[in-house]
Structure 1
Amino acid sequence: MGDQVILKISPMKGVMRFGKRGKLSPSYIWPFEILDCVDDVAYELTLLLGMAGIHPVFYVSMLKKYHADGTYIVRWDSVLPDENLTYEGEPIAMLDRQVRKLRSKEIASLKVQ
């Protein structure tokens, strides 16, 4: 209780409830605070005034934890694109290395953060 979560929405064809529709429709909408744990798999949320017609209890499968620290957001001033709109990233760490074997050759792959 007291944590913030974002709510998964499923856009319906022809209904513009949360802005754009189709491929550009949002998958999750902004953070809501958890009021009460109704069941092991259901939580009651504080909804906005414009969402008064929606029942406030949602299953865990429709919720995702909201991270308010913002460390996953790329700062626009840290990435300076050149005239081709490309930039050179700097690796932080090498996370994983593996070699995949096919029938006639081997492909080395490296996961970089």
Structure 2
Amino acid sequence: MAQDKKKNLADKHATDRVYKVGNWVFLKLSLWRGVVRFGKQGKLNPRYIGPYVITERVSEVAYKLELPPELSKVHDVFHVSMFRHYASDLSHVIPLQPLEINPDLTYDEEPVTILDWKYKVMGNKTVHLVKVLWRNHSVEEATWETEERMKELYPPLFYDY
């Protein structure tokens, strides 16, 4: 009787995950911990990578993925439990901005706006800092710069303030 109760409870929460060829999925990494590195180590290691497209249904619970060349040493057939469905969202797409590259393969950094202000007390001196968002970079890559230096190099940035 206890086994029947457990089975009924498990059946209520179980779902049959069926994917079609052409669907996009994220791939779970928990079984590969310590075997294959994906840029980070320890608790910062990503749980899922991808998304990857399903190219073939091998069996009821196994699918073949189209993996990038850097994962060529990994077998491309996975169990359905290793997947998480990828729902595409157009708000996640960042429009590509043209990047002007110099002949020496560098590009010029230009500030877009000031995100935040703060000051730091160092001994008997106070340094005013501004958080600058740079062109071709995300908000997470904004840097703290001295207000004096930024006013000297980029005066138009301070016209609104």
Fold in common (TM above 0.5): yes
Distance of 1:51 and 1:26 partners within structure 2: 15
1:23 aligned residue (43, 50, 63) = 43
Q: Tell me what 1:12 maps to.
A: 33
Work out which of the two has the higher radius of gyration on C-alpha atoms and give 1 or 2: 2
Cα RMSD (Å): 2.3
Bigger RCO of structures 1 and 2 (CA < 8 A, at least 6 apart): 1
Distance of 2:53 and 2:64 partners within structure 1: 9
Q: Tell me what 1:55 maps to.
A: 75
Distance of 1:27 and 1:49 partners within structure 2: 20
Between structures 1 and 2, the one with greater helix share: 2
Between structures 1 and 2, the one with greater strand share: 1
Give the alignment of 1:39-54 within 5 angstroms: 39-54=59-74
Deviation per residue, 1:79-103 (Å, 9 max, x gap): xxxxxxxxxxxxxxxxxxxxxxxxx
Structure 2: state its 5+ residue gaps.
1-20, 93-161
Distance of 1:70 and 1:9 partners within structure 2: 26
Aligned residues: 74
Q: Tell me what 1:34 maps to.
A: 54
